[in-house]
Structure formats: C-alpha cells, structure tokens
Structure 1
C-alpha cells in the first residue's frame, strides 16, 4: 500500500485486520504499510468503541469545554494516567490536541473552551441609545460575558457588545456615552467651559501623580516570597497594580501605563493558574518551615535538601532548597559562615614602652585599655571599651555600645582625660584599628600622654586588662542571660560600681580599689 496522509474508513479497517493478523511484527508494520503501529492501535480503539463510523473522517472541529480541558491536563500531569489513557477517557481527537493544551497550561495561560462560531459575530453594527447600551452591557455581564448570545438577542454586532462592556468596566456608565464630535479649540470656549476643562486637566494630572507615588511605594514593598515562588516576570509589578486598583480605585489602564506593561499582560497574570512546579514549591516551603521550627533551626540547606527529598520521595536539588530558604528567611543557627577578615595597614604604631611593667607607684601613672565583645538577645552583639589604672586596678572610664568603632574608644578616652585632672599617664593598648588611628594619636598627643602598644600576637603584654575582662565575665556576665541591650548595660554598670567600690582584694591589703586610692591620697 502506498504511503500517504489520508485513508478512507474501509482502508483503515483493512489495516486494522492486517495488524491483528500478526503477519508482520509491530516494529516493521510501518515499513510495509506506511502507517505507524501507534496510529493503527488508535484506529482499532475507535472501531471497537464506535464501529465503522469511528473511522470516518471528521466533518468539522470538535468542541471542548474549559472544564474538560483543565481536567484532562491535570489528570495527565498527576502522573496517574498516560497520554493515551487521557485521550480515551475524555474522547480527545488526537494526542497533538492534548499536548497543545498541556503546553498552554504550563505556559501559565488560560485554557479557554472552544465554542461554535456564530454568524452573528460578523453582523453589522447598528445605532443605539445610552439606555439601550446600558441594558445590553448589564445583560452580558449577568450572563458571564457571553458576547455572542448577547449580540444575537439584541441584534447588534459582537464587536459592539465587546467594546461597550470594556468601556463600562473601565469608566462605568460614562464610558457608554457617545462623545464623538470635534473637540473645541480653546479660543472657541466660553470662560466657564475653559475653567471646567482646566480643572478636569488638573484633576487628571493630580490623579496620575497620586497613582505614580502610590505605585512606586508598593513596588518597593516586601513581596519576595510570592515573587520568587511563582517565577513569573514582573509579579511584583502586577501585584502592586492589583492592590492599588482595589484599595485606591485607580484605573487599571492608568496603572499599567505607569508600570509600562500592557493591560492584556496584567489580565493574563490575574487569571493565570499556578503551574505544577509552583505547587510543589509551596508544599516544599510549608515542610521546610515545619522542619525548621521542629528541629529548632539546626538544618542548613544541604541537610534540609536531604530531609525534603526523603519526604517528597524525589531528588530535589540543593540550589532549589537554598533559594526557597532564602525566600522564606530561613537559615541555620549553627556554624554560620564568617566574613573574611581583610587585614588593614595601621595608620600609627607605637613601641611597647610598658614592657609588662604592670606596677605603678602613683595614681594615673599607667593606664591600660581594650575592647571586649558581649552578646544579648538572639546573638546580638555589644562592645565594652574600658580604661584601667594599674595603680589600684580601678576602672577609670568605660563605654558600652552596639558597634566596635572609633567613636566607642574615643568617648572612653575623653571620659578618662576629663577625670584625670591634668595627669599625663602612659596609656597602653593592643594594635586594634581604633588605637592605631590618627584620631587616637591626636587625642593622646593633645593630652601630653605617651602611647604604648602590645607586640603582634602577644596578648600578655596587656595582661591586666585581659584579666579584668575574665573577672567581669565570670563574676557577672556568664551568670545571667540578657534579652535586651538595656538589661546588659544595667548589669555592666552595677558590676563596675561594685568592682570599684566594694570588691575587696588581697593585693590591695583587703581594700577595694577606690578605698586603696583614697587611703593613699
């Protein structure tokens, strides 16, 4: 039999009999008869179901409802049915038709039902009055925008009904008024008409400005989760348009112009259905939040990917989990990646003049200073800067702040200089960036103070200060938990007052630091 594209019902029946005879294996059937075995099996099913009429060539388009298309696509995407099963279940004309529906659905477009085209859709329009147009529009809206039926009932054209409904949806009853005619020039207007036109123009400009301001505020809002889950371009823009239309009653057309998107693209987004991939992402996100809460945040994205893959019984890429965790603001509480330290060159370096000579004969003769880190709340950091007098071990000044920066150290130094009453002590520190800065050098030089610095990597050169930090943390900081910065600040203030006035020390002959200083004076 010659190879060709169309066959009569009798020829199809003959090919079915030849296929059933098993004279040739299925893989060689096309070579001998020019028809694929898959096509003959489809004809066989049609013959067994509808008889010889099922093999007749279709006389026209077959029409499918929107519900049938959606049900067929969802059955196939569920994985419970093969392509052939779905075609037979819903009596679809061919596999290419179903594949087209699937492509449309996965492309986030609407599956619209196919209807028979009516001759009335090409009917010539006729003249109507405002009351009649309003009646036609309301009838069309009450009947789910059935433009063909409305046009046929009222004997107007399809395009007229479509345009009237469109204008009514945008501008209400004013959109149905016939405003055709020549626009008057400004010189033809009366003063009253000119004022009315100017006022209307100002109102339109004001409305546009309000819409622009509101739109850009909305776009800057936080919608990361929704935008990242659906993976549709400009979702944030479309969401802003939708909210402003509902909340502020701005025109969709105006908002689309401001956003520089077409109105059809917005409505396409508005009526879209979530894809299979989006639904899976939503389910993954729900399970990730549950696991994060249940396991108290110990899962990073690598182990989270293992848990989620087991729960869904499918291999899920770690990058996908990482992206979704970032979208939901979920991160592990353990082993956070540290920022790479960038070593900087010191602006000023001093010699180690103190040289571990930690004894002082007089008050305000030798000071040591340093900064230490403390935590409060959920791993929030605070920094304590202090200056200690080596004569009696008292704290001359201290400042607690939330940033380890120059102002923290400079404020501590300023307080100490003010309390020193003209004294010019030697001040020793490590080589932190605050102490090697030009600003610290200028302040010490202005106060006639000598500056000394520890050697690199030699913490013991500043031993008394490090010893005080250990004492403060063991006797106060480690004994309690601090939820707020104010709680920590109050605790530090209480302890330093206790340390200076009431903490008795054997090396000070059983006196507190300030008692020892007073007795010496």
Structure 2
C-alpha cells in the first residue's frame, strides 16, 4: 500500500477524474478501461509517467513512482489473463491488479485483529485529546473548532479509517459540512501559514535585536520606523503567542529610600501633584538616583533628570559614591543641557531622599531658577515616570557584564543616546523622545 496519504481535498480532486473508480486516503482504484488503454499506449512507446499526466493525474499528488508501479502490475495481469483479466470478477482468485497466491494465514488474521485494536486505540486517543487540561490551575480548556478538525483528519489518516468522518464529527461536536469546508480551505491555510512564517522571521529579528525585551507595541514601532513595514499590533501579539516569543517583563520592586533625613533637612510640598504631562517641553523635570553593579559586585550610582513631557533624559551623572557630589554634578549637567534657557514655570520634582532635602541642594536649585517639588513620603507613584525609566533601564542594559567603571560609563552613555534617539514609544505618537521634543518645540 502507498505511503502517501490523501486528505479530503485530494480525494475529491481524484474522484473528479473519469479514470478513477474509487479513492481512499491511501489507495486509488482505476477503471478497467483506463488500465487497458494505458497498457496499449505503453506498448506503443509512451512512458507510464506521460500516460498518467495526459489523463489528468498530478504526480505531486499521487506520487512520482505511482505510474511505473501501476503499469508493471497491469502488464503482468494482461500477460496472464488478457483484457478480460481487468473486467472479470476475481475475488478469491486474486485481484486483476494485485494477484494473490494464498488465503489469509493465521499471521494475517492476527494482523487484522491488531488493526481492529488500533482502531479502538484511535478512538481512545481522540477522546483523550478532545479536551485538554491547562498545566497551571487545572482549568479545563476547550479545543478550538480548527483544532478539532485537525485532530479528526490526523486520526483518520493515521489509522487509515474510512467512512468515519461523521462519527468523529459527532464526537467532537462539530458539523460534517464544516469539516469538509475546512479540508477544502487547505490551500488557503498553507498560504496563510507561509505568510505568518515570513512575518514571524521579521518579528523575531527585531525581538532578538532588543535582547528579548520588546513587546508587541515596541516591535510595531520599530518595524514602521526602521523596516518601513506596517503590521497590526494584534497580529504581532498573535504571532508572538503562536511561536512562543515571550518578552522579559520586569517585576515590580518595593520602593526604597536612599537615606533618612536629619532635622536640618526639609521636605518641600508636592507642587507637581502627578501632573506630569503639561504639554510643554522642559517645564516638568523629574530626578532620582538608582544603583547599578559592575565587576565583582561593586556598586555605582546613577543620577538622572528626565523631561516628563518628551521623556528625554536631558542630564545624567554616574558616580562611585552616594555623596552629595552626585546631585551637584547632575544639576551642572542639567544647566549645560538647558543652555540657561529655563522655562519660567519649570519644576524639578524628586522624592524625599537625603540628597534632595539637603539645604545646599535646595539652594542650588533656586539659583538655577527652578521650583522644587517632592513626592509624598514613601509614595513612589508621585514620581512614577522616573521610576518607570529606571525599571526599563535595568531590564535593557547588561551592566553586570561590565568589569570596570569606565566600561559601565561607556555602556550607559550609549544607552542614553539610543533611548533618546532610537527608542520609539507608543504614547509619544510612535516617535522617539528626541523626535517628539523637536515636534513640540517647533509647534
């Protein structure tokens, strides 16, 4: 028997051929007239392959070796019995195409019994796969209609079952007509799968370039701006789920204070009150300090100033210590970045850390022409955009691989440049912080 399995669509195509008498998922029964005609044409000099092609058979479907094998058997029958060998009923005497020399032996009967057992196994396997259990929570998850159709076709093909479509469709609670419609749509599904594979390769390229830390919206913006490819973010999510691309998501961490203020330090009110986006660049400035480690666990500290509207990092300073110099240098770099063009209503907002409640820091802020604002005690949400940036920074920068402070400083400089000029953000009209800031300044 042939090793080729015919699906329902192929079976229908073969049945439409007038030279085919009957088709199962693994065999084709040809009309006697065609067999006689094929033998005569072969004797006249035509090759088996040419004969089958001229009579409407696709070799890709039936197999390239099928014509040669069929003509070999048919010539043998023709030599023994003549044309009558194809028209005379020869059950029990060997079929015209495949003459048999003996009855079923005990071994053959055993094989038939094993086939029956396999049928029962197929039925059991179908029932087991019909409903699945989620690994987590043991919540029952129903199969989709397409998955049911796929399972029915696999079981029928695997166990070579005939006239069982209605039975399995009733077991799966799907319609028989729907199953055949699904079979006929195979070519469309193959085309769809091919397109999905092509899109997946593009998504995967972006995903790996971002070190597996990019979600669907980030990938969409990169595809549009770097590859000039427009792809719906829902499709990107579907393909990421389908091909098991899971972005690394940072976990929420508890808010930690940097130090406890003394009685000489004074907190100022929360003038910002979470009104981060006031529509004007350089008006709302957020600042904070975070820690990073390099080498064999040596600590370094990063101080940043972020524009709450454009989300640009407009000043940063990396230090080996947490002394007050870290925030003083940050203010100096902020002044250089602003080029002394201070917004008349500019606010610099921070938490109530020891650096920001220090009298000297507050004095320098006033000299710079900024109004100081502070989060409520222990409330990280009052400075959420800054905390969010540090979270993304630690997700995306492999600072632990740096062996020296200079390597770490170089890595952070490159990241800040990339963040400001190459990181597209969905809520910034799909632009980078620098692009969005330039647009606002132009307006």
Q: Radius of gyration: which is bigger?
A: 1
Higher relative contact order (CA 8 A, sep 6+): 2
Point out the structure with the larger strand share: 2
Point out the structure with the larger helix share: 1
Interval containing the TM-score (normalised by the shorter chain): 0.3 to 0.5
